[in-house]
Copies of this chain bind each other. A is one copy, B any other.
Amino acid sequence: MNYERAWLDYEAGLSGPDVEKDGAVQLEIEIKTEADGGIQDAVMENAVRELRGAFGPKEQDGIRKIRLVKRQAPAGLSAEGYHLYEDKTVSNAGNEQQDGVFVIEASDSNGILYGAFELIRQARMGNTLRGLDILKHPGMPLRMMNHWDNMDGSIERGYSGNSFFFAEEKVLVNDRTSAYARLMASIGINAVVINNVNVDKAATLLITQKHFEPLKKMSEIFAGYGIKLYLSLNYAAPLELGELESADPLDEKVRGWWKKQMEIVFGEIPGLGGFLIKADSEGRPGPFTYGRTHADGANMLAEAVRPYGGLIIWRCFVYNCQQDWRDRKTDRARSGYDNFIGLDGAFLDNVILQIKNGPMDFQVREPVHPLFGGLTQTNQILEVQIAQEYTGQQRHVCYLLPMFCEILNFMTYVKEDEDTVKEIVSGRTFGQKNCGMAAVANTGNDENWTGHDLAAANLYGFGRLSFEPELSAQEIAKEWIRLTYGLDEQVEETILFLLMSSWPAYEKYTSPLGIGWMVNPNYHYGPSVDGYEYSRWGTYHRADHLGIGVDRSHAGTGYTQLYREPNASLYDDPEKCPDELLLFFHHMPYTWKLRSGKTIIQHIYDTHFEGVEMVDEMERRFAALDGRLPDAVYARIMGRLAHQKEHAREWCDQINTYFYRKTGISDEKNRKLY
């Protein structure tokens, strides 16, 4: 199957990076490495290959050199960091302008590779390279992709074709494996889980002899790009493989089995990083079966992988998915917190809790998960989802970086001056080293990797943000547009408009004010206001003809009280609660005046019509790019925009009609309701 090179297509026609304009022209690279003199490993080799690919000789004029310097503990540089600068003290033969040599200095190969990609990015974005002086460290230790790929080649919540990791119960290792790793390395990803967290029978076998050979090959390819391979693990593996009759984490036989199995696995795949585990969640097995805690379960595995430097990443997505909709006391939003807060401090050092950004499940708007700021003695990974499960399934444009930036900058008040989610997952707040971010990946074997061409901005953006959490969503979007489509200003302005409008638009035309879930069950696509209202999933809006929303205040389920002050009081008071989360926290009458000054019902009508208008505008502007993008790209995006426009209209009409019929309250502006 063919695939494109996404934002790393150095040959792309278009109005590609114009390196002529500021003298940094036509670089021919003479590679030198220092320290123990020479290219030392596959990562360095890939860095060199990448630089040659981007700057390879075209003409003989204006040659400049790049020197790669890897050495122990260079000034101000720690793991994976790099210093990229122009060294004018070194003469640069053949260059008329007396430009210096470019130096990429790092303490490890990953740093060199990331520095190389930085230099390429700077050049391709059209930035001047003169006087370049960039010193960077990744913003968090673990920058991770989670693929929900199944052994049969399907992808759970995949919207871009089938898996390129698996097909017909086999592990695939081919040129696309390298192409993928290269893309990931270019944005700073250093860990990849290749299989679905819901580990079925076939995937349970990934830790057996059956799949070691291709997995080892894959881990080596990944390693060449500074990436560790991770697997999702079946907690009940000893049972399902038919080797034991228990998976009790305190049973010595079980503990012994895991130790032995891990010895085998790491023996066969030395490059393995560790395991991701979804236990006691949505029907997955776990320690609860044996009356044990998540700490018992995670620590047992952590002990087994510790000798090999392995990590155990344990998901906190644990809740009662057999709730009775009549029950108003149980609150799914509380469950992650309630299940894990008592275990704070009980996990071994090589265990990390992976926490979804919000307490529910990747809705277009949720408050930040209260475990962030709750846990103080536990390694934490922030899990976000770039697979657009609830945000338009890569048929709608929905650039999610603005949301991720908001989440990272959320102040938890857990510690003075170092309390944001960003600081927690960087490890700074609590001095931890096993922390970071993970994204549920949005890739598949579609030619363009992500189904919707513009969804690649989320893939690119997640990596970049996890590496540089100080970047703004807009800066990231600009980078991606230039690297992908070149330096055409109209293209940049238009696509930037589309991307930056898309999340707000999607929020406007879907479920209002933080309530979420008004989607078709199972598919999670398209409107169904009551789709989850009478279900077992704990996902209710409680709308009647007078009001809507879930009372999670102190007088309700008490969820607001899981936050530290002043957040707890802010969320608890409907007068102070941010509008966009009001119905998440409170059941309010439709006639309630929002802080915006509008009633809830009028807000619903207005935002829905506005959302549709925004998509109209997006389509209108994009249409003007005809001829400025490759025909295939233009056609693919236009096709999806046409669908999005129609589908946004469908959302708008269904939601507005539902509330109009239920409340009997007319739209102040007398627009058409049905």
Contact = CB atoms under 8 A, between A and B. Distances in A.
Interface stretch (A370-378, A401-409, A522-530): A522-530
Contact of A653 (B326, B529, B530, B650): B326
A545 B326 contact: no
Contact of A527 (B520, B521, B534, B545): B534
B662 A545 contact: yes
A172 to B, nearest CB: 27
Interface size class of A (residues with CB under 8 A): 20 to 34
A528 B527 contact: no
Interface string A485-523: 000000000000000000000000000000000001100
A530 B674 contact: no
A529 to B, nearest CB: 7
A103 to B, nearest CB: 61
Interface in A625-674: 650, 653-654, 657-658, 660-664, 674
Contacts of A527: 534
A546 interface: yes
Contacts of A189: none
A236 interface: no
A661 B326 contact: no
Contacts of A530: 528-530, 658
A544 interface: yes
Contacts of A8: none
A621 to B, nearest CB: 27
A543 interface: yes
B528 A664 contact: no
A664 to B, nearest CB: 5
Nearest to A660: B544
Contacts of A521: 520
Nearest to A530: B530
B664 A545 contact: yes
Q: Which residue among A529, A544, A660 has the maximum number of chain B CB atoms within 10 Å of its CB?
A: A544
A531 B529 CA distance: 9
A272 B304 CA distance: 67
A534 B658 CA distance: 9
Nearest to A529: B530
A248 B228 CA distance: 60
A662 B529 contact: no
Q: Which residue among A520, A543, A661 has the maximum number of chain B CB atoms within 10 Å of its CB?
A: A661
A660 to B, nearest CB: 8
A528 B534 CA distance: 8
A517 B521 CA distance: 17
Nearest to A521: B520
A657 B534 contact: yes
Contacts of A664: 544-546
Interface string A587-609: 00000000000000000000000
Contacts of A661: 543-545, 662
A144 to B, nearest CB: 35
A357 to B, nearest CB: 29
25 contacts: A326-B653, A326-B674, A520-B521, A527-B534, A528-B530, A528-B531, A528-B534, A530-B530, A530-B658, A534-B650, A534-B653, A534-B654, A534-B657, A543-B661, A544-B660, A544-B661, A544-B662, A544-B664, A545-B545, A545-B661, A545-B662, A545-B663, A546-B664, A661-B662, A662-B662
Q: 3 tightest A-B contacts by CB?
A: A544-B661, A534-B654, A545-B664
Given A528-B530, A529-B530, 16 more contacts: A527-B534, A528-B531, A530-B530, A530-B658, A534-B653, A534-B657, A544-B660, A544-B662, A544-B664, A545-B545, A545-B661, A545-B662, A545-B663, A545-B664, A661-B662, A662-B662
